[in-house]
Amino acid sequence: MSLEGEAPFVMDDGPKGLLFDIKRNSSEDGPGIRTTLFFKGCPLSCSWCHNLEGLASRASLLFEVGRCRTERCGAPCLSRCESGCLMPGEVSIQVQHARCARCDACFSHCPSGALRPSGWWMEVDELLERVLIDAPFFLSSGGGVTCSGGEPTAQMAFLHLLLRGLKARGIHTALESCGHFDYDRFQHLILPYLDLIYFDLKLMDEAESRRHTGRSNRRILDNFIRLNQEATIPIRPRIPLIPGITDRRENLIQLGAFLRRHQVGNCSLLPYNPMSRDRGALFGSEIPGAGRVARYPSRGYMTAEEAQRCAELLFNARP
């Protein structure tokens, strides 16, 4: 039986995986030069999420209304759409994201690039072929492949096959996770094929976690404790510093106490990134928790002084 009555978010589809981006030459997602794979689907819907494209658990489309001017192109996309999700409008077309069946017929008939695909189903061998192009860079730099998202463990069956294939070829593997997964399945299918885990810790208060991420934090904290006790690979906690939410004094002090209690000696702080404010409109109402994202106040990047204050609270303050 699952914790707090919530089943883990699962969208496994066997040998195929749903991704929305492949980022090459990354130096921020683990040691050396890396290729980062972004999986779609996430059990959380954090109000500050800057990878909104990863929240939806289906292949869909992005629509940038500011680029669309039907009087210039005549809207050839309308006649190509097979699902009826594109409709005429006064200045630009209108999109009903929920009706999109991803026939992909419209993209090549959008001269402005206002319509773009969001997510592709891929087989393991196809993805391995794309990733292994970068193997010389991995081997020369001590790099490898990082699975991110979204939440890669939502597609655990596919992730298992992918990681097993990478390890069979001697590639270093890392995972970026929100921590909300079925631990027993993870321990059996995923953990043996990982070299490094980045584990997000956000909020210590359960009510605040439900309010700002849509989920209880009980499974997340429990999974972190078990991994910290049982795993033989590095588990690196990361804390996103979100103004007015995770950077509150009480939260940071409680997080610091939690890490000390479990003898965790390292932690990364991730200052707030406001880029999601500019991308939310591309996805329509298909994004889980869109209301929370829309209500989150807009502000700029976190300053060095603000980040330093958070570090002092986390590492030095006591309850």
Residue 169 included in any domain:
yes
Residue 305 DSSP code:
H
Choice between 290 and 205, residue whose per-residue pLDDT is larger: 205
pLDDT above 70 as % of the chain: 90
Token digits of residue 29: 């997602």
**CATH assignment at residue 34:** 3.20.20.70
At 207-246, the pLDDT tens digits run 999 999 999 999 999 999 999 999 999 999 999 999 899 9
Residue 319 included in any domain:
no
Does one domain contain both 177 and 232?
Answer: yes
110: alpha, beta or left? (left if phi > 0; alpha if psi -120 to 50): beta
Residue 310 included in any domain:
no
Does one domain contain both 104 and 129?
Answer: no
Residue 312 included in any domain:
no
Does one domain contain both 74 and 134?
Answer: no
Does one domain contain both 147 and 94?
Answer: no
Residue 317 included in any domain:
no
At 75-129, the pLDDT tens digits run 999 999 998 899 998 888 988 887 888 899 999 999 988 898 889 999 999 999 9
Which residue among 79, 96, 112 closes a domain? Answer: 112
At 195-204, the pLDDT tens digits run 999 999 999 9
Does one domain contain both 163 and 289?
Answer: yes
Residue 281 · residue 53 · CB < 8 Å: no
Does one domain contain both 77 and 201?
Answer: no
Give me the pLDDT at residue 52, please: 81
Choice between 12 and 67, residue whose per-residue pLDDT is larger: 67
Question: Which helix (DSSP H) or strand (DSSP E) does residue 39 occupy?
Answer: strand 34-39
Looking at the predicted structure, is the pLDDT value of residue 309 above 90? yes
DSSP per position, 262-293: TT----EEEE--TTHHHHGGGSGGGSTTHHHH
Does one domain contain both 83 and 41?
Answer: no
Bridge-based pairing of strands 16-26 and 120-123 is antiparallel
Task: Return phi, psi of residue 91, to 5°.
Answer: -110, -45
Mean pLDDT of 11-33: 90
- Return the closest-CA partner of residue 13 out of 106, 169, 107, 121: 121
Does one domain contain both 52 and 68?
Answer: no
Task: Return phi, psi of residue 196, to 5°.
Answer: -160, 140
| pLDDT category of residue 43 using cuts at 50, 70 and 90 | very high
Choice between 53 and 33, residue whose per-residue pLDDT is larger: 33
Residue 254 included in any domain:
no
Does one domain contain both 92 and 40?
Answer: no
Give me the pLDDT at residue 294, please: 46
Does one domain contain both 102 and 178?
Answer: no
- Return the closest-CA partner of residue 146 out of 31, 235, 59: 31
Does one domain contain both 79 and 162?
Answer: no
- How many domains does the structure of the chain reveal? 2
Residue 129 included in any domain:
yes
Give me the pLDDT at residue 285, please: 47
Residue 260 included in any domain:
no
Q: What range defines the domain where residue 131 resides?
A: 8-59+119-240+275-300
Choice between 194 and 82, residue whose per-residue pLDDT is larger: 194
Does one domain contain both 206 and 154?
Answer: yes
The pTM for the full model equals 0.89
